[in-house]
Amino acid sequence: MDILPTDLKLEDDGSLVIAFNDGQRRRYSVKELFDNCPAADAKEDRKADAERAASPFAVVPIEEAEERKIESVRPVGRYAYNIRFNHGSSAGIYSFEFLRTLGEEISG
């Protein structure tokens, strides 16, 4: 049996909750999804974040200082979701299999 999502919801706190057809539900924080984003532009953003954090004199542009949020989640065929963040990263394709390795299992 293929493990497939049956429901997904963006929570008020910004986290993403996905229910799967085997009854498991998982919660994903924006930070966790962004930090594990397979897209090249997200990897560059993480590198820039790390360089800024290493320097106490770094200037962070206002648009980069805003909190990262999930802007949209779109299906990619029957195997993945494309997750777009508010700062523009949109190439991240998260396979359902990969998503099962992330997040925390929740009840109900």
Rounded CA-CA distance 1/50 in Å is 40
Q: Structural domain boundaries of the chain?
A: 5-106
pTM: 0.74
Does residue 72 carry a pLDDT above 50?
Answer: yes
Asked if the model's pLDDT at residue 105 lies above 90, the reply is yes
* pLDDT, tens digit (0-9, with 9 covering 90-100), for 4-37: 999 999 999 999 999 999 999 999 999 999 888 8
Question: What is the pLDDT, as a whole number, of residue 52?
Answer: 53
What token pair was written down for 104? 């925390």
SS3 sequence, the chain?
A: CCCCEEEEEECCCCCEEEEECCCCEEEECHHHHHHCCCCHHHHHHHHHHHHHHHCCCCCCCHHHHCCCCEEEEEEECCCEEEEEECCCCCCEEEEHHHHCCCCEEECC
- With bands split at pLDDT 50, 70 and 90, how would you rate the model's confidence at 76? very high
**pLDDT at residue 62, rounded to an integer:** 47
Domain spanning 5-106, CATH class: alpha beta
